[in-house]
Amino acid sequence: MKDIEYGGHSILYAPIPVGKATGDGGLRIILGQDGGSISARVTNKDGNPVADCSVALIPAAASSEAILAASMSSGRTDQNGSWQSGIIAPGKYYAVATNDTIDKSPESIGTLWKARTSATEVELTAHGKASVSLVH
Q: Where are the domains of the chain?
A: 1-31, 37-135
- Rounded to an integer, the average pLDDT of 41-55 is 97
> Could you say which architecture CATH assigns to the domain 37-135?
Sandwich (2.60)
CA distance 17 to 9: 10
Instruction: Quote the distance between the C-alpha of residue 52 and its chain's center.
Output: 19
- Rounded to an integer, the average pLDDT of 95-109 is 94
pLDDT digits (tens, 9 = 90+) for 104-126: 999 999 999 999 999 999 999 99
pTM of structure: 0.85
Cα–Cα separations (whole angstroms), residue 44 to 32, 49, 79, 134, 136: 37, 6, 13, 8, 5
